[in-house]
Amino acid sequence: MHTAYDWVTVLLFGGIATLFLQRSVGRPVAGDRILAYLPAVLGCAVANYCGNSGWHLPALLLLAATIAYILVRLRPWVSS
């Protein structure tokens, strides 16, 4: 892990994985599907790639969009 993009995306991915694992053992949350996590993890991967390739503006915009998606669609504050 050499860049800030590596650290930010790995931490964000870890949060997504933790949210998924926590919800997979608890009572189901309405509207929570496994495919809903795919755009968030793909956003992390592509943002990391863009940032490491020197495309800083697209990487930052994609990170912001990924965080917005997590907050709006995955709703981490909603518990089972």
**Extents of the domains making up the chain:** 4-74
Per-residue pLDDT, 80 = 62
User: How much is the pTM?
Assistant: 0.91
How far CA 17 is from CA of 23, 34, 52, in Å, comes to 10, 11, 22
Give the model confidence (pLDDT) of 16-27 as tens digits.
999 999 999 988
Percentage of the chain lying above the pLDDT 70 cut: 99
- Contacts of residue 32, Cβ cutoff 8 Å, sequence gap at least 6: 23, 74
